[in-house]
Chains A and B, each alone.
Chain A
Amino acid sequence: MTDITATSNVSAEIVRARISGRRMDIGGRIFEGLLLLALALSLAVLLTLLVDVVSRGIGVYAERGIDVITAPLSSDPAKAGIGQGLFGSIALMLIVAATAFPIGIGAAIYLEEYARDTTFTRFVTANIRNLAGVPSIVYGLLGLAVFVVALRAITGPESQGRSILAGGLTLAILVLPIVIITTSEALRAVPSGIREAAYGVGATRWQTVRSHVIPYAAPGILTGTILSMARAFGETAPLIMVGGAVSFLNTGDRGLVETLQGKYTTVPTSIFQWVQEPRREFIELSAAGIIALLVTILLVNGLAIILRNRYARKW
C-alpha cells in the first residue's frame, strides 16, 4: 500500500496555493458602495423630515399637552387643535370600512374563486391594478361630481354635499382597488391543493370557499385592509376637493344622520390649512398635527404587521 498521508500532504500544499489569495473585485466594490449611498440618501431624507417636524411640533405638546389633540378648530393658534379632525378622520374610516371592505373583498372573492379565466376577467383585473395607481386627486374630482353634486340630496342638502358621507364614500372608492388587489393576493396565496382537497371529498364551491379558502386567507385580507385604511387616513387631496371644512366648525349636538350629512374636517385637512397660515404659531401647530398623524399611521401599520406575523401561515 502506498503512503496515503504523504501523498495528501503534497496535494494539500498545491490546493492551498491554488485557492489562496485575494481577488481585486473593483467593480463589485463600487457597486456595493453605490447601493449603500442610495440607502443612506433615502434614510437621510426621511430622518431630516422627521427631525424637522418633531423639533417644530414637540414644543406645542410640551406647552399644551393633550389639549392639542382634543381642542376644536380655532382662529387662535393657542386654542386650536385636531379634536374635530380626529373625529372626522375616524368617522371617514368607519364609512370606508363599512363600504369599501365588503364590496372590495366580495369583488376579489368573485374574481379569484368564481370568475372563469377569460379575456374579459383579465381586462377587468388589469384595470383594477391601474386604478390603484390613479392619483388621488382624480378620485377627489370623481367624488365632487358624484357625491357632492349629483347625490347632494342624500349626502347632505344642508352642507351643500360637503359632508362626512361624501368624503367617506370618496375615500372608499379611492381604496377599493387596493382592497381588491390585496384580497386577491391573499386568496391566491391559498394553495390550489387545499381547494382540490375540499372538492375531492365532495364539497361544493361555496363550502370550499367558506370553510377553507376564506378562513385561510383571512389574515392576509385583514392585513391588506388595515393598510388600505392607513392609506385613507393620510389622504388629503381628494378631501380638499370634496370639501373637508378648514375653519370654524360647529359640531354641537347632532343626530347620526345630521352628523353624516354635516360638515367635517380631518386631521390632514386641518394640517393643510395650518401650513398655509402666515403665523409661526400655526406652523408649529401643523407640525404637532403631523406628529399625531404619523403616530396614528405608525400604530395602524404596526397592528397590521403584528397580525400578519401572528397568523402567517407556511404552506
Chain B
Amino acid sequence: MRTKEEIAPSGETLVHEAPRIRLMTDQAVDEAEQFAPGASEQSVAMPIEDGKVVFELQSLSCYYGSFRAVKEISLRVPHNQITAVIGPSGCGKSTLLRSFNRMNDLIDGARITGQILYHGVDLYADGVDPVEVRRRIGMVFQKPNPFPKSIYDNVAFGPRVAGFRGRMGELVEESLRRAALWDEVKDKLKSPGTELSGGQQQRLCIARAIAVEPDVILMDEPCSSLDPIATLKIEELMHELKQNYTIVIVTHNMQQAARASDLTAFLTMGPDRAGYLVEMAPTQKLFTSPDNRLTEDYITGRFG
C-alpha cells in the first residue's frame, strides 16, 4: 500500500498547484494572529496553538430568504484535527457546515453575511468557483447517498470529473483502503454501491470523498442512520483520516463528539431561532469544565 504522499499529498499539492493561495495563506495566518476573537458578543473563538488555521469564520450569518439560521459565528478550525459541532436540533449546525463548501449555494434564497476564510482566502469572494471549492472541501452526508452505480464508479466519478489522468484502478483501490472498505468490497467492485449495508455505504461515500484528494472533509451527522458497530467503525476511520485531512463533523450525538473529536463547538438557538456559538474549546475541556452555563446544561442533559 502506498502512502498518501506518493499519490498526491492533498494539502501540499493544493499549495504547490496554487502558489497564489499559499501566499495568501501565510499572510492570512499572520493576520489571524492579530484577529481578535469574539467579534460578536455570544461568540467565543478558540485560540489555536502552533498555527495552521484552515477555516476562519468572521461574524458569519447564514440566511434562507429573510430567515436567519445562523447568527454571527466567529471561530477557527485548525489543520488536521477533528472539530465537532454539537447542539440541539434546528440550531443551524448543518447550515453552518454546508456554508464551508458552498453547498448552500444550491438552495434558492440562501446567502451569507460575514466571511469564511479558507487558508486565508474568502470563499465567497467574487471569482471563487464553488466547484473548485467543493473539490478541495469534500462532504459526507447524513444519509448514505451512493450513486446507483458500481462501487468502482462511485469512487471514480470525482476523479473523472476533476480530469484525473492517472491509473484509476489504483486510485480507487487506495481510496477504498483508506476508507477501510477495500477488504469487504475488493471482489465485487462491479456490483452496485446501493447493495452494500448502511455502514458500508457510508464508508463508500467517504472513499468517494477522499478520492478527489480533498484538503478538508465535512461530515454532516455521518452516523445518524447507522448502528453502533458501524458508527464505531466510522469513528475509528475518522481518527485514521485526521493524519491527512482536516475534519469538521456535525453531530447531535454528544458521546460521539466526546469520543471522536479534538475540538468541540457548541451551538444553540436564540429566541429568534437563529443558531449562535456558545462556546468552542478542546473537547476534553468543553465536556469536563465548560465555561458557559448553557454548555453545561446541554452536556449534562438538562436541555436539548
Contacts and interface: CB of A to CB of B under 8 A. Distances in A.
A202 interface: yes
Interface in B271-295: none
Given A202-B161, A203-B157, A211-B157, A197 B147 contact: yes
A187 to B, nearest CB: 15
Contacts of A21: none
Nearest to A115: B108
Contacts of A201: 134-135, 138, 157-158, 161-162, 208-209, 211-212
Given A197-B141, A211-B157, A313-B148, A203 B103 contact: no
B143 A193 contact: yes
Interface string A212-248: 1000100000000000000000000000000000000
B165 to A, nearest CB: 16
B94 to A, nearest CB: 11
A179 B169 CA distance: 40
Label chain A's interface by main secondary structure: helix
Interface in B134-150: 134-135, 138-139, 141, 143, 145-148
A306 B143 CA distance: 31
Nearest to B142: A193
A62 B70 CA distance: 77
B148 A196 contact: no
A200 interface: yes
A191 interface: yes
Contacts of B212: 201-202
A74 interface: no
Interface residues of B, number: 26
A207 interface: yes
Contacts of A212: 147
B8 to A, nearest CB: 15
A216 B148 CA distance: 8
B172 interface: no
Given A202-B158, A203-B161, 20 more contacts: A116-B108, A117-B108, A191-B145, A196-B103, A196-B106, A196-B145, A197-B205, A199-B103, A201-B138, A201-B157, A201-B162, A201-B208, A202-B131, A202-B132, A202-B162, A203-B157, A204-B131, A204-B161, A211-B161, A313-B148
The 6 A-B pairs with the shortest beta carbon distances in the complex, nearest first, are: A202-B135, A201-B158, A193-B145, A200-B139, A117-B108, A197-B145
Interface of B: 101, 103, 106, 108-109, 131-132, 134-135, 138-139, 141, 143, 145-148, 157-158, 161-162, 205, 208-209, 211-212
Interface of A: 116-118, 191, 193-204, 207, 211-212, 216, 313
20 contacts: A193-B145, A194-B145, A196-B139, A196-B145, A197-B146, A197-B147, A197-B205, A197-B208, A200-B101, A200-B209, A201-B161, A201-B162, A201-B211, A201-B212, A202-B131, A202-B132, A202-B134, A203-B131, A203-B158, A216-B148
